Amino acid sequence: MVWELLAPQLRQYLDTRVPPRPAEMQAMEAYARETRFPIVGPAAGNFCYLLARLIRARRVFEMGSGFGYSTAWFARAVQENGGGTVFHVVWDEELSRRARKHLNTLGFEDVVQYHVGEAVETLSRVEGPFDLIFNDIDKEAYPKSLPVITEKLRPGGVLIVDNMFWQGRIFDDADRSATTQGVRDLTRMISSDPGWISSIVPIRDGLLVAYRDGGNT
């Protein structure tokens, strides 16, 4: 069962509170609507941008970057923080090419580094540490990604994980699918680990925001 978690009026209100985006980002949003391609959307994207600015992130790693919409929000933050690198990682060559086109048009060619491959494996071999890691990979892989994230994220860094409500599936006790269990297990692992301080923010499909507490790790 897939539930409508936020009232349409609330979703629309949150999105309209986001300042106007560049024309290229608006085109990306339109493409996502037309093709039903899942992106974080304006409200969640702006929230990710805010967090990256708050911690003055200079090195950001995205696990599952799509065609670059969320990357654009992180790249803007990193650019405004004085420069650095956002790692865009997807399985698909065509998505990587599309992302490069969009992000170059937005002026982020010097900020974004592109990788095509499996996100957890790519993170494991890229030199850390990172200030911020964004996780939006296949949900069944969420639990196995956490040890690698913990190793690569600096103490005081921030982890953001998308789809924590999984379109309402986590509330259905009869749903024992690998994807739903992956979301549940990661939530339990983070919330029970004293090395993390976390909260789930009910924007879009739920964003988990977790601070890696260097004092307890």
Give the residue extent of every domain in the chain.
8-216
pLDDT for the residue 140: 97
Q: Which helix (H) or strand (E) holds 87?
A: strand 85-90
Please give the structure tokens belonging to residue 34: 């037309």
- 3-state SS class at 99: helix
| pLDDT (mean) for 167-184 | 95
pLDDT level of residue 145 (50, 70, 90 thresholds): very high
Contacts of 60 (CB under 8 A, 6+ apart): 52, 74, 77, 78, 84, 85, 86, 87, 130, 131, 132, 133, 134
pLDDT for the residue 2: 45
Please give the structure tokens belonging to residue 212: 């890696």
pLDDT level of residue 98 (50, 70, 90 thresholds): very high
Q: Is the pLDDT of residue 155 over 70?
A: yes
C-alpha torsion sign, points 209, 196, 139, 113: positive
| pLDDT (mean) for 70-85 | 98
Peptide bond into 129 cis (omega under 30): yes
Please give the structure tokens belonging to residue 146: 């956490």
Pick from 153, 150, 135, 139: nearest CA to 194: 150
Q: CA dist 163 to 12, 15, 130, 134, Å? A: 18, 17, 22, 12
Residue type (1 letter), 30: A
pLDDT for the residue 214: 75
| pLDDT (mean) for 105-125 | 97
Question: 100-125 burial, b for 16+ CB within 10 Å, e for fewer?
Answer: bebbebbebeebbebbeebbbebbee
Question: Would the pTM count as exceeding 0.85?
Answer: yes
Q: Which CATH architecture has domain 8-216?
A: 3-Layer(aba) Sandwich (3.40)
pLDDT for the residue 217: 42
C-alpha torsion sign, points 40, 86, 150, 193: negative
Q: Which helix (H) or strand (E) holds 178?
A: helix 178-191
Mean pLDDT, all residues of the chain: 94
CA distance 217 to 215: 6
Pick from 78, 77, 7, 14: nearest CA to 40: 14
| pLDDT (mean) for 183-202 | 96
